[in-house]
Structure 1
Amino acid sequence: MWLLVFLVSFLIGVGTTFWYLFGRQSPFTVDSVRDPEPMELDQKKRDKVLKQGFTREKVPQSLDAIVIGSGIGGMTAAATIAKLGKRVLVLEQHDQAGGCCHTFTEKGFEFDVGLHYIGQLHENSFFRIVMDQITEGQLQFVELDKHFDTIIIGTGEEQRKYTIYMGKTEMEEHLKKQFPNDVKAVEEFFKIMKISARKTPFLAGLKLIPQWLALFLLRSGIADLLSPVFRLIGSSATEVADILTSNKDLQIIFAYFFYGVPPRDSSSLINALLLHHYKRGAYYPRGGASEIPFHITKVIQKYGGNVLVRAPVTRVLVDSKGAAYGVSVKKGQEEVEVRAPIIISNCGIFNTFKRLLPPEIQAKPEIQKRLDMMKPGQGSLLVFSGFDATAEELGINSTNLWLFNNNDMDAMMDDFFSLEKDEAPDNIPMMFITFPSAKDPTSKIRHPGKTCMTIMTMVNYEWFEEWKDTTVKKRGDDYMDYKMRFANNLFDWACMYFPKLREKLVFQEVATPLTNVHFLGAYRGAMYSAEHNLERFHIEVMAKNRCDTPVKNLFISGQDVFSCGIAGALHGGLLCASIALGHIVYIDLFLLKKKLKRRKAREMAALAKKLQ
């Protein structure tokens, strides 16, 4: 009798698990991807998609989900849910959709805000399949030059220049040629990159299985037996680099994608993933970064949803039982309630828990514990420059530059972030330079004879905090003078490498952390959201930092779920959709990837047979 009960229970468990993993409709299909339509160049028609203002009448009836924020994490979650035939409403506080993927145009110059280049978009890659699915094949990409990044360390006679090449084997081999005495160190780092890329799904799995099970696997040591990735993510980038090599220049190469955290306090796995991301190529959206929200919005609308802007969410509505059931949107002087059974916040954990939840919910210990897992990220400052000249006339191309004053990144960042407000503009230790118009061939058609440059560096929010209560565009002369000190020093540094820029400059604008707060809704101006320090990537914190929250029906998406950047935020959206739907969409994507690879193999076999 007991044996029969056990067998029945086992079969029910297996059946339930199989149904949970494979038995439900997939939002992703081969047939949903169609040939790209001609690019929409009419700005008025584009604005009807990207700048549709919030009104009660534009809110779809019988909503299935509401997403707060139209960054790539929120839009990925929204499109994934929508493709199951559900009505999703995305609400954006800015006047156009896209978050860090939006662009803005001033004086005939178009600038990207947070998307500078993307990797892992080669044919049938996981990331490419996701992008194709959430835009239904309408998003096209341009592959950048093989030499996609240049790293310059030091100034004057002490300057050293290193080049980073894309390519499955070329990236490693090219780096070895530049560091002939550190071949072994390069090989070991690329092994770490390989482990990081292949085993990262284990880390995502921690957020998809029940929390008690994840913690059991970690605390029992079983997880470490499965993969070294669980130890690697908590290892300091500086610690690992010191083991590999004493060459400080090479150590910079291992961690040159700065995001506000010194290598000493950052995860070696995250830094390895960032470089691996471009191993098979660096790409840029054809038509600019705003093509991403433009096409995702159309997919959401296709299934009965909508994306509305000028729709600041003031609070998440929570019932007496502690469950979220809607949001309140400010429209003029009134508050409009919009309801749905699923609420997804893509505006960051601090904005969500500190600003959108009722005070009595914020005060709950379980909410405070989630907040204590993270700290606010570093602010960023961007300089947008426009030139009346072509890329050829300026002597530029699609290659990005990363500049460092010296090769001790930990000391540089420590010293800079400890400076007083007045000292900071004259002591900038590092910056990133990119030319978006040189990456996009359609820019020559859409903005002929014009070139754009974006410079980025990291800054303290506190240096700008005295102006936080002023109005955008009306912050006063002292604010303008202060931010232009940063801009002038950064621009002068750029002109050392591109001397033709100065005489062709006709437009310049500077975005500070306060700008990021206003336009992006970024907490304390942090474009990369919560700080990506070692405490955040402690493996048990990773297991506990999940998409579901202590508030029933409220979920978190975006960069705070997994990691920073476009790819990190997109995975945050996929993880969030999986939890909100109770259906692991990653399995659907992996099965789709296998199907596409088989189809490609058949096509290649047929072609080979035909040629014979």
Structure 2
Amino acid sequence: MELTRSVYAWMVSNPSLVVAVLLAVLFITVLAKFMSGPPVGKNPFAKATTSPPQPLVTDQAKRNNVLKQGIHYIGGMRNLTNFKVYIDHITDGQLQWTGVVEPYDTVVIGDNEKARHYPMYGGKDEFKQSLLDKFPQEKKAIDKYFDLLKATRASALGHVMAKIVPTWWIDFLASTGLIHYFTNYYKYSQRSVSDVMNELTDNKELQTVIAYSFGDYGSPPSEGSFAMHCDLINHMRYGVSYPVGGASEIAFHIIPSIEKAGGKVLVRAQVSQILLEDSGKAFGVRVHKSSGDVDIHAPIIISDAGFFNTFQSLLPPQIMDKSGFKPMVKKGTIKHGVGAMSIFVGLKGSKEDLALEGRNWWVYTSNDITNITEEYIGRSVENVLKDDIPLLFISFPSAKDPTWEQRYPGKSTCAVVTLANWEWFKKWENERVMKRGEEYDKLKNSIGERAWAQVLRLFPHLKDKVDYFEVGSPVSNKYYLGSPAGEIYGLDHTKERFGPKAVTRLRAQTMVPNLYMTGQDILSCGFAGAAYGGLLSASAVLNRNLFKDLSQLKKTIAKNK
């Protein structure tokens, strides 16, 4: 009896711990039930399958895989990380990486001679020290920022787990507030980058430098999820890499692994419809061909077409009505990402001739980063060019690739990316490619020329070196990438999207039996986000925890080394 009273007294004095223990027990029970049912699939990470790297394939006739737009830099490839093991595995070890020079990014704020430069370094301590060197009076704010980076990294499991356990369970935890007993992730994901920056410091210059890379996911600081921003910074924090041979090497080396496993990769095969049985189960896709549509049947359908394409174009409208997504779209919880413009420039001269570096430049006209971005995106088409473009991402891909000079001697490339409003170009979305008319060409080329003029302020010696100049608009993105509103990062990375309700519904397993989603929209944008989205999808299809299997494979490789 005395023991019972003692236990009761302890429970009364420690209610939070009691609730946490009870919830943990319930969580394990629900998860065990959820993971039971269909047989567990084969472990694709049972053993390392990489082969010794083969010589770079440079014969363009063999490659037939030229990509203008691709990866600018990737984190997590310099050491034996889970991500590197994963990518090595699905490319049979043939995809090689080279470290991008340090500093890998430089933030430029202001114009011409008055512009301020802030180098961003990779490494355990170098990144933080680069901020302290430029802002010694802001040590307290910088220390707090790095504390938040560490905290969000530790809470990231809360993001992934919400995509595995039943939706009703996450809804219950979120509505009661008990979800915070499991993870701190949503404390960070539900705040905007601007909100946190304003809390850390009133120094606009430091705010811009901390938030500079929001262009890597597209959402303005006033809307972007702080947790998502931290995920990106943590991903890049220890140095970044670039694929040897260029971004097209990624697809080039993944395709053989797919075919080795019995798959087939088809191009110029536009899927127009996901086929459903009367019972509602997915059983195939319809491929549109000029010679007549072709139906391809399969027991499992996985869509990497993105949320909006999948639910608004490939499935019947009633599926969207019943999915629970419709009110979230109407409210703006889930919405299209911001459109983008891309300028591709071919240059006469080698890297040495033109003094090019393999890093990236993020150029802002002002340190009022939120207002200048929102003002630009909100402009009418008539006022697009009233003054400078407030944000430019500038990169020299050829300078990053150690094999470039041997393949294209005496030539170099530059890529420039900026944000754009889909509404500026929407009226041309159904016009034929390369034949959209003089008005369209004038608008997109004028933006491209303005962007290049701003680039030349940083690199005036490139003025007479242009050999090739092409501009891609949001309409180009729709045509080549299938992005409905000209976005390149899929769904907008807002704090609403990264709330528990949206997170738990944007998952691999859909309400349609046999239909799964994958890619950027079920996790986050970019190569890493899409790749881990694929791991979530494979986990759902195989009914096993591939994240655990991958981690175990990494441990085995580390032990053998």
Measure the CA separation in 2 of the matches of 1:325 and 1:276. Answer: 40
Is this contact kept in 2: 1:348–1:523, CA < 8 A?
no
Partner of 2:59: 42
2:253 corresponds to which of 281, 285, 295: 295
Measure the CA separation in 1 of the matches of 2:502 and 2:280. Answer: 24
Partner of 1:329: 287
1:403 corresponds to which of 341, 363, 368: 363
Partner of 1:214: 170
1:319 and 2:277 correspond:
yes
Range that drifts further, 474-483 or 21-30: 21-30
1:149 and 2:105 correspond:
yes
Residue 573 (structure 1) shift: 1.1
Is this contact kept in 1: 2:34–2:165, CA < 8 A?
no
Partner of 1:481: 442
Range that drifts further, 433-442 or 170-179: 170-179
Q: Which letter maps to 1:470?
A: E
Residues 598 and 195 of structure 1: is their aligned pair in 2 closer, same or farther, counting only changes over 3 Å? farther
Residue 160 (structure 1) shift: 1.3
**TM-score, L = length of structure 2:** 0.90
Residues 593 and 221 of structure 1: is their aligned pair in 2 closer, same or farther, counting only changes over 3 Å? farther
**TM-score, L = length of structure 1:** 0.83
1:576 and 2:537 correspond:
yes
Measure the CA separation in 1 of the matches of 2:212 and 2:433. Answer: 32
Is this contact kept in 2: 1:132–1:139, CA < 8 A?
yes
2:344 corresponds to which of 374, 378, 384: 384
Residue 24 (structure 1) shift: 5.2
2:326 corresponds to which of 368, 393, 396: 368
Residues 22 and 196 of structure 1: is their aligned pair in 2 closer, same or farther, counting only changes over 3 Å? farther
Partner of 1:508: 469
Residue 217 (structure 1) shift: 3.5
Unaligned runs of 5+ in 1: 1-10, 51-102, 105-110, 601-612
Q: Which letter maps to 1:403?
A: V
Partner of 2:457: 496
1:559 and 2:517 correspond:
no
Partner of 2:304: 346
Partner of 2:406: 445
Counting matched residue pairs gives 529
Is this contact kept in 2: 1:535–1:541, CA < 8 A?
yes
Residue 508 (structure 1) shift: 0.3
Measure the CA separation in 2 of the matches of 1:503 and 1:553. Answer: 56
1:266 corresponds to which of 210, 214, 224: 224
Residues 483 and 15 of structure 1: is their aligned pair in 2 closer, same or farther, counting only changes over 3 Å? closer
Q: Deviations over 1:443-478 (max 9, x none)?
A: 111111110000000000110112222111111122
Is this contact kept in 1: 2:78–2:240, CA < 8 A?
no
Partner of 1:73: none
Is this contact kept in 2: 1:192–1:269, CA < 8 A?
no
Measure the CA separation in 1 of the matches of 2:177 and 2:320. Answer: 34
Measure the CA separation in 2 of the matches of 1:501 and 1:591. Answer: 49
Equivalent residue runs for 1:9-24 within 5 Å: none
Q: Deviations over 1:150-176 (max 9, x none)?
A: 001111454211000111111111211
Residue 122 (structure 1) shift: 2.2
Partner of 2:266: 308
1:248 and 2:204 correspond:
yes
Partner of 2:383: 423
Residues 234 and 191 of structure 1: is their aligned pair in 2 closer, same or farther, counting only changes over 3 Å? same
Residue 282 (structure 1) shift: 0.9
1:234 and 2:195 correspond:
no
Residue 581 (structure 1) shift: 2.1
Q: Deviations over 1:467-519 (max 9, x none)?
A: 22211111112211111110111001001111111111011000001111111
Measure the CA separation in 1 of the matches of 2:35 and 2:533. Answer: 24
Is this contact kept in 1: 2:78–2:99, CA < 8 A?
no
Residues 448 and 324 of structure 1: is their aligned pair in 2 closer, same or farther, counting only changes over 3 Å? same
Residues 25 and 548 of structure 1: is their aligned pair in 2 closer, same or farther, counting only changes over 3 Å? closer
Unaligned runs of 5+ in 2: 1-27
Q: Deviations over 1:57-85 (max 9, x none)?
A: xxxxxxxxxxxxxxxxxxxxxxxxxxxxx
Secondary structure in 2 matching 1:306: coil
Measure the CA separation in 2 of the matches of 1:470 and 1:545. Answer: 32
Residue 365 (structure 1) shift: 5.4
What is the percent sequence identity of the aligned residues?
Answer: 36
Q: Which letter maps to 2:365?
A: N
Is this contact kept in 1: 2:171–2:500, CA < 8 A?
no
Q: Which letter maps to 1:562?
A: L
Residues 15 and 243 of structure 1: is their aligned pair in 2 closer, same or farther, counting only changes over 3 Å? closer
Is this contact kept in 2: 1:353–1:367, CA < 8 A?
no
Partner of 2:48: 31
Is this contact kept in 1: 2:40–2:543, CA < 8 A?
no
Is this contact kept in 2: 1:21–1:583, CA < 8 A?
no
Secondary structure in 2 matching 1:530: coil
Residue 596 (structure 1) shift: 2.4
Q: Which letter maps to 2:544?
A: H
Residues 12 and 121 of structure 1: is their aligned pair in 2 closer, same or farther, counting only changes over 3 Å? closer
Measure the CA separation in 2 of the matches of 1:31 and 1:483. Answer: 47
Measure the CA separation in 1 of the matches of 2:285 and 2:505. Answer: 25
Q: Which letter maps to 1:191?
A: D
Is this contact kept in 2: 1:367–1:550, CA < 8 A?
no
Measure the CA separation in 2 of the matches of 1:17 and 1:555. Answer: 17
Residues 272 and 31 of structure 1: is their aligned pair in 2 closer, same or farther, counting only changes over 3 Å? closer
Measure the CA separation in 1 of the matches of 2:178 and 2:92. Answer: 40
Secondary structure in 2 matching 1:598: helix
Measure the CA separation in 1 of the matches of 2:552 and 2:40. Answer: 13
Range that drifts further, 336-345 or 185-194: 185-194
Residues 31 and 533 of structure 1: is their aligned pair in 2 closer, same or farther, counting only changes over 3 Å? closer
Residues 526 and 16 of structure 1: is their aligned pair in 2 closer, same or farther, counting only changes over 3 Å? closer
